[in-house]
Structure 1
Amino acid sequence: MTPTPERAAGASHRAAPLHADLDQVPLETALLALADPVRRTIVRTLANAADWERACGSFDVPVTKATLSRHFAILREAGLLEQRDAGPKRLNRLRRPEFEARFPGLLELALSDR
């Protein structure tokens, strides 16, 4: 079997993550994503990191790998998170400007300690 160019270059075999079109994300979806404390921890961590700095396995949260993957999916579906593969790692970026344009002030409120 001849490797595809992606495999030959060392790309991951998993499918690329799907990202939400923020114009199609309802407020309820955004609120539900931010309601969970584990997801807020992920968002806070990304808010304090440079884009594409944090890999999925680098978050200090008390959940299994499968549960963490589900949290990432929920954040992607809400338009909060963008992910890309870099070899064996999946890197993350908080979509702060895009999310702020869609839901002004919501992210800052969720990140505050109020």
Structure 2
Amino acid sequence: MRILDHPNLDEIKLDTVLAALADPIRLRIVSQLADGHDDQACIAFELPVSKSTSTHHFRVLREAGIIEQHYQGTSILNTLRIGDLNRRFPGLVGAVIAAQGSESSSLGPGAVTE
């Protein structure tokens, strides 16, 4: 079974997390993981980018320590590392998601924030 590398808790850096969350596609992925259930397959995300670009975004999130990925058969399942992130940077991810949601709703229905 193939194992993907993930940073340990003490290796997760604030600037790397913030840079990863600054991208609208990656923030969309994180928001969906926060709102949904654990272990969502990559195909569960309807992203307006190619498959290779999508793969890049998931890799950036994994390498930043924001998500954990593991193989189940041929699928890669994604889980938000909210417990680890809250231990490392208390409230950060929740605040970023809330701010993004507030920004989207203040622009009105159908607004595109990407």
Note whether the superposition's TM-score is higher than 0.5.
yes
**Does structure 1 residue 102 correspond to structure 2 residue 78?**
no
Q: Percent identity?
A: 43
**5+ residue gaps, structure 1:** 1-10
- The residue that corresponds to 2:111 in the other structure is none
- The residue that corresponds to 1:37 in the other structure is 24
Picking from 55, 62, 76, the partner of 2:41 is 55
Between the aligned partners of 1:42 and 1:96, the Cα distance in structure 2 is 13
Greater radius of gyration (CA): 1
Between the aligned partners of 1:40 and 1:59, the Cα distance in structure 2 is 12
**TM-score of the aligned structures, taking structure 1 as reference length:** 0.82
Between the aligned partners of 2:9 and 2:61, the Cα distance in structure 1 is 12
1:76 partner letter:
R
Between the aligned partners of 1:88 and 1:24, the Cα distance in structure 2 is 28
**5+ residue gaps, structure 2:** 103-114
Q: Number of residues paired by the alignment?
A: 100
Between the aligned partners of 1:83 and 1:38, the Cα distance in structure 2 is 17
Higher helix share: 2
What value does the CA root-mean-square deviation take over the aligned residues?
1.2
Q: Secondary structure at the match of 1:83?
A: strand
Between the aligned partners of 2:27 and 2:91, the Cα distance in structure 1 is 15
**Contact residue 22 and residue 78 of structure 1 kept, 8 A:** no
Where does structure 1 differ by over 3 angstroms across 4 or more consecutive aligned residues? none
Between the aligned partners of 1:103 and 1:77, the Cα distance in structure 2 is 16
